[in-house]
Amino acid sequence: MRNSRIILFLIVILMAGLMPLLAENPPAGQADSTHIMTMERPRLDGLKQFHDVVRPIWHTYLPEKNYKAIRESVEPFQKSVQILMEAPIPDYFQHKKEQIEAGRKAIADAIAAFDTVAKKNDDAELEKAVENAHTAFENLVRVISPRMAEIDNFHLVLYPLWHKALPASDWTSIKATAPVLRTEMDSLMAAPIPEWAKEKDQQINEQRTALNKAVTDFCETCKANKDEEIKDKLTILHQHFMALDGVFE
């Protein structure tokens, strides 16, 4: 009886010592949810403010030919453009920096022209100026907003892995996040191609199939705890993602 108690006591001591080690090193393939990396989608300041001005013009004032209300929108437009032009471009959008800079300059130019036209008594020219401003806004939104929601969701997981976890050699977070990336890839593979992109459906399917294989290789490497191979697999995965995103340019 006494020996049994001693053995039980030793087992408890042994397990107490092993528990911290097990917590730090989960079995291969088991995700540690405390290290999963994701992020919220950043915004470019000024876009929402601009939209708040252009929306009633486009959907109400213009159809009703309420030119007085349209002309009174010059100052709100100018304030929103000032916010937009002064806003720092989030790091998340750095790969699109040149397009964003060109897009917001186009909006600023369109509103400058709108201001000039609004001082005249030419309603037809005013309508054209509104159309130009709205088009410039839509073009910038297309640069910032995802071509497909599933591509953006995938990028929101990939971005912190590529820009934060990998440079820090944070293999724990990378491996913990791999299943999330797999889930987003499955959604991307199942997503229908938008009608406006149908002419590129072959390229899109080829690139997302290649990306899917890269994700599979990456996840298998993470599951096997092959830390020394993770960097190469994630690099290949990132290259395939950029290739897919580039199809929509």
Q: Which residues of the chain have pLDDT under 70?
A: 1-35, 37-39, 146, 249
Here the tokens at position 173 are 């977070």
The one-letter code for the residue type at 24 is E
User: Same domain, yes or no, for 164 and 240?
Assistant: yes
Q: Do the domain assignments include residue 40?
A: no
The total number of structural domains in the chain stands at 2
Contacts of 28 (CB under 8 A, 6+ apart): 223, 224, 225
140 is in which domain, residue-wise?
Answer: 47-144
| Domain annotation covers residue 125 | yes
pLDDT at 12: 43
pLDDT (0 to 100) of residue 34: 61
Among candidate residues 191, 185, 186, 189, the one with its CA nearest the CA of residue 154: 185
Query: Which pLDDT value is given to residue 37?
Result: 66
118 plus 73 within the same structural domain:
yes
Predicted confidence at residue 112, as pLDDT, reads 97
